[in-house]
Every structure is written in structure tokens, then in C-alpha cells.
Structure 1
């Protein structure tokens, strides 16, 4: 599968975003890391999250997905390989890979 340019940015991704809404809800951190490892190992690099994913689960506050993704990025040292998309105030935001 070829990379595609993301909009009018200089970012290139495979044409699939992984939806992080399952992290901290139907997948715990260990399972989430396994899924993310497989996603990256297969050449994919785009992950979508939001600060309100899984807030509806009893005991969750809504930042579980982002916390798990952040922990994974840090533990694997792969922040420079991932394009991370999130929603802020109802708008989609794309965060570029760090320099």
C-alpha cells in the first residue's frame, strides 16, 4: 500500500488511520500496546484519538486513549514515526512528527 500525502501538508501516511477510541475502554494498556506494535510493524503510521474517548465508561475520565498512546510512544521511542490526529473543540487537528 502506497503512502499518500495528508491534505496540503508535507505529511505522508498509509491511507488508514487507527482509531484510538478502544484504548482504555475495550482494550487495556497491554492489549493496546500489542495492537499499536502490530499496526506500526505493518507500516502504518497514523493514529486518531480524542480527549473524550471512553469518558462514558464508569470510572474513566476521557483521557485514557491519549494516556495509553503517550505511554506507548514513550516506551517504544517511536514518536518520530507517528502522525497523531486529535479533536479539539470539535475540530480535527493533525500533529506533525517532531523535528
Structure 2
């Protein structure tokens, strides 16, 4: 069996390379910070202001307090249907009594 080879060591930066990279990063951050501050100064009072989110009102009734309602049309009582029922019966009798041709 072949012995595994260890990982190659990472390249170690010299002190001079480290200093150069740090300066480059710092100058990049510094430049960005300056650009942002200039942008804020130029847009002062001109830019859009953030709108505050509206609070939703708390629900005053809970589902337990609400009265359950049927989605169907309310049924009429039989007394209300009585005149219409009598008229229908009378029509049926009249049609039954008329002779068919």
C-alpha cells in the first residue's frame, strides 16, 4: 500500500507582500467610504425617504366570537311559501283537466 502524501504547505507571504496587500485593501475601503460620504452629501434632502411600514390593526373579534353564517340563501318558512304552493297546485290541476289533443 502506498503512503498518502501530505498536503503541500500553503504559500507563505513575505512581510513585504503582506504590507502591500494590506495597504491595497485599506485604500480600497477608504476610497469607498469617501465616495459614500460624498454621495450622501450631494443627495441630502433630495433623495427618497424611506416609508414607514403601517401597523395592521389588531383584530377586534376572535373566531370564537364570530357567529357562523351559512353561505346558502336563507330558507323561507312554509307559511311564506304557501301562496306560491297553492298557485302551482291549481295550475297543475288546470293542466290535468284540459283535454289533450
TM-score by length of 2: 0.19
Between Structure 1 and Structure 2, the one with more strand by share is 1
Between Structure 1 and Structure 2, the one with more helix by share is 2
TM-score by length of 1: 0.19
Give the number of the structure with larger relative contact order, counting CA–CA contacts within 8 Å between residues 6 or more apart. Answer: 1
